[in-house]
């Protein structure tokens, strides 16, 4: 008769043998409990496993923000660079060694504010890197300032009277800049993330994954788990991802439809 | 009246005298001197002494740069005037540059004259106008002993002295045409002839040269209507022709030289001529005369410049004579046009 | 036999073929066997008109700086050439068109401007060219022909060089150009037979290795190719753009790639990304672009990722003077950026050194796992010198990386504290050495950590590593050789050539002076510099910047204040100014 301890030990052994968690590094993530980033992490890890990418042939490039720490938590090579320069650094990595699979990760501040000038060009260049944009509409690491995707009127310590700038729509931007693969996802659906990531990784050009996520510590009103779960829904069944005009229409009408919105047929 | 830009065409004694006068009397004037040759201002009357070795090359030149700098004038050498427009008051240089002037003094001097019968022999004859000419004489004299002088102008007598000092054998054909524009009077001719013979010069009396043949590099055979002789150098000294070809069609009155009144003014306002290139009107004679020689040129230059600035100096009708050849004095200034 | 040291300028309007003429002079003189140093100036604006001046100093011996006085001026546009008259030496020769298409008024005339001692050679360039070719376009070659005849330069070499230059344009064009050249040559030989200068008619032997004319920027480009550059990332900026364009033409032929990025920040980020995975990359910029790279440079220092950055300095600060030369980025290169972020800074002084140090910079960056900054300037980048084709040795090109041993697998510490300060570096793709490079302070394994002991240890490690680099960096060189000096002149960058000329001239006058060339700006060889200064009474540091940036860096090594000599005139330092200061210092003693 197996004691609970033995059952547990066997299970751990099984997990170890399955190597399912090898993708995780020995460093525990520093994110707050309940942070949406855990879900994204799960999704990307599963993607790497599913594609059976050798871990030493994957490079994760990150910038500054809560997402910046990402490479430390994954058992792949990493490059933690400066604020906003994730995309050009990732470009350098991929062009230098095309055999590596490159994931760039960053928040909405890193990607749309200081890094905003690089987005159009990485779309134009269409280098085969995969960009995960963690959009929680707040600057979490610096404790709660508004971000480029915060809605009008967002009240924070930095904007007590509410923001007066209108928010950017990252998906729309990516489409406008001519990105060849655009997906919109939700941190609460790691499986959906994995599915899109697998397809996007296989896509031979630049792939951007605009992922809605939460900041449980600093955003209690907008992108909460409750709100997001309520708002998000899949793309219509008949959505044709190869139709760019349709993609624009979809995104202009609907902020929360999820899936692969556009994929350029080569 | 101060002219703003005064242009002086020439770089000889008359031109330089005019320039220094202008500078002294009108310090604010901008002065440009245009000389066709790439030569600094030299004393032409010293050339025979230079040939004789009595004067060094340095002493030939009037300390050029400092003098010019003292005058604060723009010296343009190796450039020549090819046209003039007295209405627009501009001169045009050979490289198509237009130089406007407020006042103009033409002091281009003259070039050695070769009269018609001798022009066919021009290539074989040595003249003496510039230091380069003198150097050619010196170089040639190094390897020859005999010289035949044809002509008889002021310079020729000084050259004879130089050649004798160098112990060369000198023959002389006095040509009545040589003291142009004035013919040699019979009396002066005889006196000059006698004097030359006294010095040991062979004076050949003939009417013309019939033929010249080059026997070798250093020997010419000259056949006259009287006798034939072999000489090393053949020198031509027939005076100067005013250097005024470039003024043809300009509107100035030109005979052999530029015709000016007794104030050295041409028919155009503030345009003057001075030196060997000018023919000056004599009110008493009611005709034009030529003033030649270094000192006269300097005087005329001074007068032209003074008058350009508003003076009314007339040329002294009896300026100094400069030619003295032991006992035979010729007054160099009073000559009527031929 | 007087030693040939002649400066020739060709001046014209854009479109006159000025630059082509100057280039032909450089090439021909180089092939005859002379040393040549050329430095042209172009119109600042793009409009298609504006003054072009080519400037070639030609000598029988070594040449280190541009000529201060011009001995021959070839004028293709008299109005533009007037600006060059103040620089004419006494008895300079000026070639100009004696039959211009229109009359020129005195106030616009070149001939009216020159001193009487100047020798004028008026030739009807346009007419001669039109007579033999039907158009005046080849008049620059006609002028060259005249110059060649008068100055006694071998015409067959010029003809050969013209053929080489124009053969790509077809036989017809080539024939026409040669005819234009010949027409000018004949005219001058006939009309100036009494005024030939024969400046270059000295026997020169063109033996030894074949020489090419090469600019500093080209030398850098070739160096990068030789060092097996794989990727160039850059953003256009005067005066570094030619490096990018040179590589854009040549790098793809060697399997590499040039990518024009959206700004300088992206350029350096991509360079760091490339080196992170072991591929040699480079970027070249100037002051304003360099300023943008500051943050990423400090990132390279902290994360210990190599990079090679060229800063071709220009007038500053800010947008400054894009087409003028200056040496005012030393502070920024050595100290720019927050934190204790020292990095390697090298400054070549000649075209040959541009090649040499750029080749070595890749290896240095890899070995010391740090950004290496190579400082040149507008003058050095654009000037041409003739030199034997530089080649990189195998040693110079070799991979400088220190890879981890197999024994470190699965327990790999990227930032291992070692005596040398250099931690073996794995490259992404290598199995068993997973790590993340980071700009945060970190433990030996690379995990972010802000503890006092860790930061101290890591900061010491990074500085220790840099001091080690001294052994691999070029040491200061003394001219003519070690001795006690009344005045020791220290210099860096392109100014050193002017210093060498000035010191040689002072020595010819009997002054006891010497020069010290510094090419390793950081780390600098304090011991050697102090030793030199110890043997000098006065130390003079001439620089093309206002404060004296090198003086600020090393001045403290002298027992008294160093004497600073500063200029920000935008042109190369004139040797005469340095000589004058040396004389002052000698007189004061």
pLDDT tens across C558-589, in order?
Answer: 999 999 999 999 999 999 999 999 999 999 98
Do C421 and C530 lie in one domain? The reply is: no
* pLDDT of the residue at A118: 98
* pLDDT of the residue at A13: 87
In terms of DSSP bridges, do strands B278-282 and B287-289 run parallel, antiparallel, or are they unpaired? antiparallel
Contact (CB, 8 A) for B173 and B150? yes
| Closest to C521 (Cα-Cα) out of C347, C287, C310, C341 | C347
| Closest to C18 (Cα-Cα) out of C36, C46, C43 | C43
Provide the total of helices (H) and of strands (E) in chain A, helices listed first. Answer: 9, 10
Task: State the smallest CA–CA distance between residue B78 and chain C in angstroms.
Answer: 8
Task: State the smallest CA–CA distance between residue A197 and chain C in angstroms.
Answer: 21
Q: What is the pLDDT of residues C490-513, one digit of tens each?
A: 999 999 999 999 999 999 999 999
Give the number of residues written for chain C: 589
Distance CA C446, CA C2 (A): 67
Contact (CB, 8 A) for A181 and A206? yes
Question: Which tokens belong to B168?
Answer: 């060369």
Do C12 and C34 lie in one domain? The reply is: yes
Final residue before a domain boundary, out of C160, C191, C222: C191
Q: Where are the beta strands (DSSP E) in A10-152?
A: 58-62, 77-80, 101-107, 130-135, 138-139, 145-146
Tell if the CB–CB gap between C98 and B94 is shorter than 8 Å.
yes
Give rounded-to-5 percent helix, strand, coil for chain B. 30, 30, 40
Do C23 and C69 lie in one domain? The reply is: yes
Contact (CB, 8 A) for C35 and C205? no
Do C250 and C363 lie in one domain? The reply is: yes
Question: Which tokens belong to C109?
Answer: 């005339």
B5-46+61-111+241-316 shares its CATH topology with B114-238? yes
* pLDDT of the residue at C147: 97
| Closest to C481 (Cα-Cα) out of C446, C515, C508 | C515
* DSSP state, residue C410: T
Residue C450, judged by CB atoms within 10 A of its CB (0-12, 13-18, 19+), counts as exposed
Q: Is residue C378 part of a domain?
A: yes
Beta bridge partners of A132: A105, A209
* pLDDT of the residue at B196: 85
CATH number of B114-238: 3.50.50.60
Q: Is residue C218 part of a domain?
A: yes
Q: Is residue C373 part of a domain?
A: yes
Task: State the smallest CA–CA distance between residue A250 and chain C in angstroms.
Answer: 30
* DSSP state, residue C111: G
Task: Give the nearest chain C residue to A70 (CA atoms).
Answer: C436
Q: Is B153 left (phi over 0), alpha (psi -120 to 50) or beta?
A: beta
For position C506, which CATH number holds?
3.40.50.920
Q: How far apart are the first and last CA of chain B?
A: 38
Beta bridge partners of B224: B209
Do C79 and C169 lie in one domain? The reply is: yes
| Residue ranges of domains in chain B | 5-46+61-111+241-316, 114-238
Distance CA B79, CA B10 (A): 10
The residue range of the domain holding C94 is 5-191
What's the CATH architecture for A29-263?
Answer: 3-Layer(aba) Sandwich (3.40)
Q: Is residue C506 part of a domain?
A: yes
Number of domains in chain C: 4
Do C506 and C364 lie in one domain? The reply is: no
Cβ-Cβ contacts under 8 Å for A79 (sequence gap 6 or more): A59, A60, A61, A62, A71, A89, A90, A93, C272, C273, C276, C303, C305, C436, C437
Q: Indicate if the pLDDT at residue C207 is higher than 80.
A: no
Distance CA C204, CA B31 (A): 46
Residue whose tokens read 């070739």: C222
A-facing residues of C in 412-451 (CB < 8 A) are: 428-440, 446-448
Task: Give the nearest chain C residue to A100 (CA atoms).
Answer: C429
Do C101 and C124 lie in one domain? The reply is: yes
User: Which of C256, C262, C410, C436 best probes binding to A when mutated, by most A CB atoms within 10 angstroms?
Assistant: C436
Over range C453-458, report the average pLDDT.
98
Tell if the CB–CB gap between C106 and B78 is shorter than 8 Å.
no
Tell if the CB–CB gap between B97 and C105 is shorter than 8 Å.
yes
Contact (CB, 8 A) for C227 and C251? no
Neighbours of chain A (3+ CB pairs under 8 A): C
Quick check: B68 contacting C, CB < 8 Å? yes
Do C431 and C484 lie in one domain? The reply is: no
Give rounded-to-5 percent helix, strand, coil for chain C. 40, 20, 35
Q: Is residue C359 part of a domain?
A: yes
Tell if the CB–CB gap between B95 and C116 is shorter than 8 Å.
no
Do C309 and C232 lie in one domain? The reply is: yes
User: Which of A57, A59, A95, A122 best probes binding to C when mutated, by most C CB atoms within 10 angstroms?
Assistant: A95
Task: State the smallest CA–CA distance between residue C125 and chain B in angstroms.
Answer: 12
Distance CA A69, CA A141 (A): 11
Quick check: C105 contacting B, CB < 8 Å? yes
Task: State the smallest CA–CA distance between residue B284 and chain C in angstroms.
Answer: 42
Tell if the CB–CB gap between A81 and C439 is shorter than 8 Å.
yes
Give the number of residues written for chain A: 266
Distance CA B254, CA B271 (A): 14
Question: Which tokens belong to B88?
Answer: 């627009």
Per-residue pLDDT of chain B (338 residues; tens, 9 = 90+): 455 899 999 999 999 999 999 988 888 889 999 999 888 888 888 899 999 999 998 888 886 555 555 556 899 998 999 999 999 999 999 999 999 999 999 999 998 888 888 888 888 899 999 999 999 999 999 999 999 999 888 788 889 989 999 999 999 988 877 665 555 667 777 877 888 888 888 888 877 788 888 888 889 898 888 888 899 999 999 888 889 999 988 999 998 889 999 899 999 999 999 998 998 887 777 777 777 778 888 989 999 999 999 888 887 655 444 333 333 334 454 332 22
Task: State the smallest CA–CA distance between residue C151 and chain B in angstroms.
Answer: 19
Question: Which tokens belong to C567?
Answer: 């200029």
Distance from the Cα of residue A123 to its chain's centroid: 16
Q: What is the pLDDT of residues C209-250, one digit of tens each?
A: 889 999 999 999 999 999 999 999 999 999 999 999 999 999
Chain C residues touching A60 at Cβ < 8 A: 436
Consecutive 10-residue averages of pLDDT for chain A (266 residues): 86 82 86 94 95 96 94 96 97 98 97 97 97 96 94 93 95 97 97 97 98 94 95 96 96 97 93
Beta bridge partners of A17: none
Chain B residues touching C102 at Cβ < 8 A: 96
Q: What is the pLDDT of residues C33-84, one digit of tens each?
A: 999 999 998 776 666 678 999 999 999 989 999 999 999 999 999 999 999 9
Question: Which tokens belong to C432?
Answer: 């068993």
Over range C193-214, report the average pLDDT.
88
In terms of DSSP bridges, do strands C513-517 and C485-491 run parallel, antiparallel, or are they unpaired? parallel
Cis amide leading into A10 (omega within 30): no
Contact (CB, 8 A) for C328 and C313? yes
Distance CA A233, CA C352 (A): 65
Distance CA C571, CA C100 (A): 32
Reported CATH class of domain B5-46+61-111+241-316: alpha beta
Do C155 and C22 lie in one domain? The reply is: yes
| Closest to C577 (Cα-Cα) out of C536, C542, C538, C548 | C542
Tell if the CB–CB gap between C120 and B78 is shorter than 8 Å.
yes
Quick check: C118 contacting B, CB < 8 Å? no
Distance CA C406, CA C432 (A): 9
Distance CA B92, CA B87 (A): 13
Distance CA B153, CA B26 (A): 37
Do C418 and C517 lie in one domain? The reply is: no
For position C151, which CATH number holds?
3.40.920.10
Interface pTM, i.e. ipTM: 0.92
Q: What is the pTM of this model?
A: 0.89
| Closest to A203 (Cα-Cα) out of A118, A116, A262, A248 | A262
């Amino acid at each position: 008769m197996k004691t609970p301890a033995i059952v547990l030990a066997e299970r751990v052994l099984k997990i170890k043998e399955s190597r399912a968690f090898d993708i995780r590094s020995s460093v525990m993530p520093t994110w707050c409990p309940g942070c949406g980033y855990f879900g994204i992490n799960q999704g990307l890890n599963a993607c790497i496993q599913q594609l059976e990418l050798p871990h030493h042939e994957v490079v994760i490039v990150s910038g500054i923000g809560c997402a910046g720490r990402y490479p430390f938590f994954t058992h792949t090579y990493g490059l933690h660079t400066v604020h906003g320069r994730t995309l050009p650094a990732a470009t350098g990595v991929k062009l230098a060694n095309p055999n590596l699979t490159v994931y760039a990760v960053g928040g909405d501040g890193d990607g749309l504010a200081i890094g905003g000038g690089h987005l159009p060009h990485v779309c134009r260049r269409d280098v085969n890197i995969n960009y995960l944009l963690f959009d929680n509409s707040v600057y979490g690491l610096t404790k709660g300032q508004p971000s480029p995707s915060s809605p009008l009127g967002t009240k924070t310590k930095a904007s007590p009277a509410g923001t007066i700038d209108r928010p950017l729509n990252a998906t729309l931007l990516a489409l406008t800049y001519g990105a060849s693969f655009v997906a919109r996802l939700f941190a609460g659906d790691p499986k959906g993330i994995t599915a899109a990531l697998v397809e996007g990784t296989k896509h031979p050009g630049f792939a951007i994954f605009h992922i809605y996520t939460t900041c449980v510590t600093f955003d209690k009103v907008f992108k909460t788990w409750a709100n997001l779960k309520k708002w998000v829904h899949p793309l219509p069944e008949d959505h044709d991802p190869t139709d760019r005009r349709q993609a624009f229409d979809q995104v202009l009408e609907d902020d929360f439809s999820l899936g692969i919105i556009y994929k350029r047929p080569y | 009246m101060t002219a703003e830009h005064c242009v002086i065409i020439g770089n000889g004694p008359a031109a330089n005298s005019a320039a220094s006068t202008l500078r002294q009397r009108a310090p604010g004037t901008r002065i440009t001197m245009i000389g066709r040759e790439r030569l600094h201002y030299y004393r032409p009357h010293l050339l025979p002494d230079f040939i004789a070795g009595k004067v060094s090359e340095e002493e030939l030149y009037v300390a050029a740069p400092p003098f010019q700098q003292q005058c604060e004038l723009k010296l343009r050498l190796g450039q020549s005037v090819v046209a003039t427009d007295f209405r627009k008051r501009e001169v045009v240089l050979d490289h198509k540059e237009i130089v406007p002037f407020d006042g103009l003094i033409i002091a281009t001097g003259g070039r050695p004259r070769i009269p018609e019968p001798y022009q066919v022999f021009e290539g074989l004859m040595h003249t003496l106008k510039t230091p380069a000419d003198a150097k050619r004489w010196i170089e040639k004299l190094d390897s020859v002993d005999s010289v035949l002088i044809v002509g008889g102008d002021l310079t020729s007598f000084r050259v004879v002295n130089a050649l004798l000092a160098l112990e060369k054998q000198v023959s002389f054909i006095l040509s009545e045409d040589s003291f142009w524009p004035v013919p040699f009077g019979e009396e002066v001719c005889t006196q000059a002839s006698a004097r030359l013979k006294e010095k040991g010069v062979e004076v050949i009396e003939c009417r013309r040269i019939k033929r010249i043949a080059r026997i070798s590099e250093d020997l010419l055979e000259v056949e006259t209507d009287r006798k034939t002789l072999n000489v090393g150098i053949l020198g031509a000294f027939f005076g100067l022709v005013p250097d005024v070809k470039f003024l043809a069609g300009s509107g100035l009155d030109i005979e052999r030289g530029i015709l000016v009144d007794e104030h050295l003014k041409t028919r155009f306002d503030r345009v003057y001529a001075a030196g060997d290139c000018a023919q000056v009107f004599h009110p008493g004679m009611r005709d034009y005369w030529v003033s030649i020689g270094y000192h006269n040129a300097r005087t005329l230059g001074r007068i032209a410049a003074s008058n350009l600035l508003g003076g009314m100096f007339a040329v002294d009708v009896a300026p100094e004579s400069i030619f003295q050849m032991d006992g035979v004095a010729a007054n160099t200034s009073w000559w009527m046009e031929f | 036999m007087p030693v040939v040291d002649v400066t020739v300028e060709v001046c014209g309007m854009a479109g006159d073929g000025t630059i082509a003429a100057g280039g032909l002079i450089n090439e021909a003189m180089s092939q005859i066997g002379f040393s040549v140093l050329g430095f042209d100036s172009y119109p600042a604006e793009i409009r298609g008109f504006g003054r072009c001046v080519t400037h070639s100093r030609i000598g029988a011996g070594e040449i280190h700086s541009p000529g201060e006085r011009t001995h021959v001026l070839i004028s293709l546009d008299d109005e533009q050439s007037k600006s060059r008259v103040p620089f004419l030496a006494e008895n300079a020769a000026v070639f100009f068109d004696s039959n211009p298409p229109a009359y020129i008024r005195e106030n616009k005339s070149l001939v009216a401007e020159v001193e009487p001692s100047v020798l004028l050679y008026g030739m009807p360039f346009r007419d001669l060219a039109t007579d033999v070719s039907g158009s005046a376009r080849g008049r620059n070659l006609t002028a060259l022909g005249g110059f060649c005849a008068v100055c006694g330069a071998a015409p067959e070499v010029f003809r050969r060089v013209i053929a080489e230059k124009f053969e790509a344009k077809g036989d017809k064009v080539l024939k026409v150009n040669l005819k234009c050249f010949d027409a000018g040559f004949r005219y001058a030989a006939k009309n100036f037979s009494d005024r030939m200068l024969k400046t270059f008619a000295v026997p020169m032997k063109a033996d030894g290795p074949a020489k090419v004319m090469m600019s500093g920027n080209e030398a850098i480009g070739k160096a990068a190719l030789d060092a097996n550059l794989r990727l160039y990332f850059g953003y256009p900026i005067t005066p570094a753009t030619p490096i990018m364009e040179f590589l854009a033409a040549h790098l793809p032929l060697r399997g590499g790639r040039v990518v024009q990025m959206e700004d300088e920040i992206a350029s350096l980020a991509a360079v760091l990304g490339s080196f992170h995975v072991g591929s040699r990359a480079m970027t070249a910029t100037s002051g304003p672009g360099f300023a943008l790279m500051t943050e990423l440079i400090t990132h390279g220092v902290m994360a210990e990722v190599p990079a090679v950055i060229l800063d071709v300095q220009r007038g500053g600060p800010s947008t400054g003077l894009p087409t003028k030369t200056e040496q005012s980025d030393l502070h920024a290169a050595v100290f720019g950026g927050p934190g204790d972020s020292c990095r390697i800074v090298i400054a070549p002084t000649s075209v040959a050194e541009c090649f040499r140090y750029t080749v070595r910079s890749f290896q240095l960056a890899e070995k010391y796992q740090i950004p290496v900054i190579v400082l040149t300037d507008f003058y050095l980048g654009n000037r041409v010198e003739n030199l034997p084709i530089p080649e990189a040795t195998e040693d110079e090109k070799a991979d400088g990386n220190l890879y981890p041993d197999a024994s470190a697998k699965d327990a790999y510490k990227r930032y291992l504290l070692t005596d040398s300060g250099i931690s073996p570096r794995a490259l992404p793709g290598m199995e068993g050495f997973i790590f993340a490079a980071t700009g945060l302070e970190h433990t030996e394994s690379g995990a972010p950590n802000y503890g006092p002991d860790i930061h101290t240890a890591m900061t010491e490690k990074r500085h220790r590593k840099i001091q080690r680099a001294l052994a691999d960096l070029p040491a200061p060189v003394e001219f003519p050789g070690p001795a006690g000096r009344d005045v020791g002149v220290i210099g860096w960058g392109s100014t050193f050539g002017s210093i060498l000329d000035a010191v040689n001239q002072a020595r010819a006058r009997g002054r006891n002076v010497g020069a010290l060339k510094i090419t390793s700006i950081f780390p600098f060889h304090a011991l050697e510099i102090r030793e030199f200064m110890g043997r000098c009474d006065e130390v003079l540091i001439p620089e093309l910047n206002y404060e004296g940036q090198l003086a600020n860096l090393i001045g403290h090594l002298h027992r008294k204040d160093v004497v600073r000599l500063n200029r920000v005139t935008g042109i190369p330092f004139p040797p005469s100014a340095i000589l004058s200061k040396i004389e002052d210092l000698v007189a004061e003693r």
